A and B are shown apart, each in its own frame.
Chain A
Amino acid sequence: MTFWRRTASEPDKQADSLPSLALLWLIASFALLLTPQLDRLPIWLIVVCISLASWRWLAQQGHVRLPGRWLRTGIMLGLVAVYLIRVQGSFTVDTAASFFVLAVGLKWLETRTVRDFYVLFYILVYLATVNFLFHQEIHWALMNIGAIALLFIGLQVLNAPELPGGMKAGWRRLGIMLLKVLPMVVLLFVFFPRMAPLWSVPLVSGEARTGISETMRPGDISSLAQSSERAFRVTFGGAMPDYRDRYWRGLILDTLDDGTWRQSGYESGYERGYEPDRAPGRVDVDGGVGELAPREYDVLMEPTDQRWAFALKGSEAASSNVIEESDDVFRFRRPADSAVRYRLAREDTAQRIPPAALKAEDARRYLQLPAAGNPRARDLAEELRRKSDDMGVVRALLTRFREQPYYYTLRPPKMPDNGIDSLLFDEKRGFCAHYAGATTFVLRSAGIPARIVVGYQGGESGAGGEYLIVRQYDAHAWVEAWIEGQGWIRIDPTAAIAPDRIESGLRDAVADEGSFLENNWMSAQRYGDVAIIQWASLQLDRVNYQWQRWIVGYQGQSQLNLMSRLSGGFGMRELGYLTAGIIGVGLLIAGLISALQARGGVRRDGHGKVLEAWHNVCGRAGVPVRSGETPAALAARLAVAEPVTADCARLFAQMINSHYYRPQSARDDNDDLKRLRRLLATMKRQLRRAGKIRTIMFWPAMLRPAMLRPKPHSGKHRD
């Protein structure tokens, strides 16, 4: 059990002393921490990390040797070179995170001493932190925290290789500790002031996000239709709108150029409302937590790395992190690189001000067309124009879509030249983007200002019907046209061609074709007809939604809202004081508890207690123990004072002595203790009979006044 060593032993000696078990926990934690990154990390890096960690483990087992300094340096330089070649100078948070992972991997080869172990511990904790930047869902969070827990188990093993009670005790110890400190953590989390970022840290990841983009070629959206990733979730203060009214407007495309629709005015890089000076540059992810008014709705949007926000038509901003722009679309101040929650309110339709006339420059903008191309579509427009007014053109066009055999399909044919002509007159098969583009083209050709709106349409109810989940396959494109006297009205050619798409969603619209999520085997939505999968997926989503809403999204605005509800006048400064107060009180309570426990901890082993009790008995019999008196001496004095107890006292003293001075192995403590107690009881009985003490009181050990004074030597002997 005991061995000794010189403390100042050379570090090499300690190399072997890293307990294998501790290392194993560390490696397990590393594996767990890599899991959330698997989709982002290049394959070669994962392979490198696994092999480096395995190398370290095999070395621990003695199968191989750890590389020497030169080999290690070589490996390091080699891998860093590979990394640099792969990254090719594009430095984002994403590549930085990859580099960090590489650094962790390389550190495995250097983990020889206890100090290295700690370094690895720190960087793994930080790796968990980095993971939180990219994944915030509840299961990833639990995985990260679990990995940190593994690290702490590893530390326990490192500090006590023979870990008493085994792993189970280690986990229990950690668990109890966490439970004890949990209230403190919760208080800090709620009250710690959420400051503005100290400096600008853009979180632009290099990875391409699934979602709508700022340009639209016909076919873009149909590829999006193969993804069942979440786009955003909405909670309504009042009733949810009908399915057919769930048009989530995102951005407006008004310029057709070489078959591609794009936003005008955004090409130069200038974006209205963008405030590059406003330090520091992060999107405000928190839209506040107040009660939702009946007209209000909360949108929790997944990161898009774009500035647009999705809104129903006729909404106004209710939270400060979205701003309304001229085209009735909403924007964030910064690209949404994390999940953002914002709040909007639907305007009262009755109070809507009748629109004024379209400004000349806007009219020009919404009538823009390429000089040439698609002659048959232009002819069609002219023909319709001749017959009727603006509204008539729109109606005629929609009637054409409804009555002629146009098909809504996820497998549109390729239409390279004069795409709109071939869609309208030859193929007659397309997706929403095709029809929206063609409709806008025809309307503009007929002199009606028109624009394409890209966003989402639809959304299924989450578990319990509390909120709406809008997924990428709900992506949609439709048209808005300016009709004199009515303003911008929505025209959805898809509604004319495939009413199912608008009434109940893409699944039903392409049910005959069987193309719904055909390339997406993993998606739970693909198996929407299997009730149990659907149910499980929705339940998971509900948990994550609440998690995201209340925990992940708990930032400055929510905090201030919450605080203002507690009592008036809670600002940042008060929060700061409050936090300091919480920490102070927490430490004070911890100190008090440990003081009380220490007082309790003074309680001795069984023999000490019995001796203490005997001293008390002697005291009451008129023979108080003197400082440092041996039991034998006390027994002798007691025997003189109270001869009846002489034998018992002597035996008692003898037993106490032999307890303290006999070799440890020869003891039978429990038996001893029983006999001692019996002796004590006998003495008390004898004294009582002699009338020396009337009542025998068993004070609880804690309350006994003698215990409150430190008596380091009681129970020990002096000649």
Chain B
Amino acid sequence: MSRLIRSRLQRWINRRIPRSDVQLLTQRNLFILPTTAGVMFGMLLLIMLITGINYQNSLIYLVTFLLGAVFVGAMHQTHRNLSGLELTLVLAGEGFAGDDILFRLRATAGKDEAIALILSADDFSVRLGHVPSGQSMDVNVPVPSAFRGYLQPDRIRIETRFPFGLLKAWSWMRPVSAGVVFPRPIVAPDVISTLVNGEEAASSCSVQGNDHAELRPWRDGDMSQRVMWKRYARSGQMVVAQWEADKGSPQWLDFNAFPGTDHELRFSYLSWLVIERGKSGARFGLNLPGQVIEPDSGQAHATRCLRSLAMWGEEKPRGALAEPHGTRRNVDSTKAAAKAGAGL
């Protein structure tokens, strides 16, 4: 029964607060209720009134009415704290599954200043102090993630209890834009890419005689193929060669390199590999079913690869009013459009 009520309530709220990256808080979408402290305060007022009646004490009546009126005034003030405030999702963050993804919100106060705001998503809450009227302030709200893919926070709650904590006014923001959650990196087993680029397989680091090798001590996570085994046999030191040749001969990270493994696990392996390659500055390409990213190096490339790992096979979530603005990609294209417009 309570579940039914809750789901009804949920639907009602969702109807009232459509998904959007910009949320202007007005009477339509603001909720206000007394807090526990407020309910207790009401009971206190009742006791005071009874005391006043029983002792026929005018001053107790007076103070009771005064406090009651202050409560009403506080209702007004609490409501005004949020009313007119505009919440904008500035940046939907990226991160690895299991981490908290930061969503950057910008709160712009309306005519009245907004005081003691608390933003929360799931069980995280962030205290956003005080936004003077007409100004704005950015805040990062962490949203916990579990799986790879798009992360669209169901609701981000904004709440205030100022001035007296007797009442709470709150609203939700239901962003359209989704954050991107990369697969959680898991150390990949040594594999051989099935995709061979010319004569050079990724594994065939037949490197003897190559003078351009940079040698460095082995560290955790280095692929065994790259250990100078001969050198090891001689000196007992694990040394890894970083071949100049690497940069010229891209390695392919391949989805199909892990036969028999669960898909999600493969993404995790690939994620780890991408990070590793990104760190070492190696050139690499990514081969996913239906999607190939040409070899390249650098941080931007790694991020791009991670994104396609995150998004592969995932449907981009859309809100009821599908207005896909606010994501980075859209920002970029908007800028591009603006630039294009300027170029006309």
Contact = CB atoms under 8 A, between A and B. Distances in A.
B165 interface: yes
A693 interface: no
B130 A604 contact: no
B73 A180 contact: yes
Contact of B41 (A8, A122, A717): A122
B215 interface: no
B50 A126 contact: no
B242 interface: no
A718 B326 CA distance: 9
B115 A160 contact: yes
Contacts, number: 266
A62 interface: no
B33 interface: no
Interface in A623-674: 628, 630-633, 635-636, 639, 646, 650-651, 653-654, 657, 660-661, 664
B45 to A, nearest CB: 9
A598 B26 contact: yes
Given A162-B129, A650-B341, A552 B40 contact: no
Contact of A650 (B68, B326, B344): B344
Given A604-B86, A653-B341, A6 B123 contact: yes
Given A184-B72, A661-B331, A2 B129 contact: yes
B13 interface: no
Interface residues of A, number: 100
A128 B54 CA distance: 16
B22 A713 contact: yes
Contacts of A201: 54-55
Nearest to A180: B73
Nearest to B35: A118
A73 to B, nearest CB: 25
What does DSSP make chain B's interface, helix, strand, loop or mixed? mixed
A148 B27 contact: no
A282 B335 contact: no
Given A184-B69, A551-B58, A646-B344, A160 B53 contact: no
Interface string A583-610: 0001100100111011011111110000
A148 B65 CA distance: 13
A603 B130 contact: no
Contacts of A141: 59
B63 A145 contact: yes
A285 B54 CA distance: 13
Interface string B53-97: 111111111110111111011111101100110101000000000
Contact of A603 (B63, B110, B330): B110
Interface string B22-52: 1110111000000001001100100110111
A136 interface: yes
Interface string B112-137: 11011000100111111110101011
B107 to A, nearest CB: 11
B113 A148 contact: no
B54 A594 contact: no
A555 B56 contact: yes
B24 A712 contact: yes
Interface string B7-26: 00000000000001111101
A604 B110 CA distance: 6
B78 to A, nearest CB: 10
A185 interface: yes
A148 B67 contact: yes
Contacts of B80: 594, 597, 601
B277 to A, nearest CB: 30
Interface size class of B (residues with CB under 8 A): 35 or more
Contacts of B20: 712-713
Contacts of A590: 72, 75-76
A129 B127 CA distance: 35
A3 B129 CA distance: 10
A603 B111 contact: yes
Interface in B164-181: 164-166
User: Which one of A2, A203, A601, A654 has the greatest number of beta carbons of chain B within 10 Å?
Assistant: A601
Contacts of B108: 605
Interface stretch (A191-199, A393-401, A447-455): A191-199
A173 interface: yes
Interface of A: 1-8, 114-115, 118, 122, 125-126, 128-129, 132-133, 136, 141, 144-145, 148, 152, 155-156, 158-160, 162, 164, 173-174, 177-178, 180-182, 184-185, 188-189, 192, 194-195, 197-199, 201, 203, 280, 282, 285-286, 338, 551-556, 586-587, 590, 593-595, 597-598, 600-606, 628, 630-633, 635-636, 639, 646, 650-651, 653-654, 657, 660-661, 664, 710, 712-713, 716-719
24 contacts: A1-B137, A3-B127, A4-B142, A6-B123, A6-B125, A125-B44, A129-B48, A148-B67, A152-B164, A158-B165, A162-B129, A164-B129, A164-B130, A178-B73, A185-B62, A197-B54, A594-B76, A600-B111, A601-B111, A604-B110, A635-B341, A664-B138, A719-B334, A719-B337
Given A601-B110, A650-B342, 8 more contacts: A122-B41, A128-B63, A160-B130, A598-B27, A605-B136, A657-B334, A710-B26, A719-B325
What 5 A-B pairs have minimum CB-CB distances, sorted nearest first?
A: A601-B84, A181-B69, A160-B116, A177-B73, A164-B130
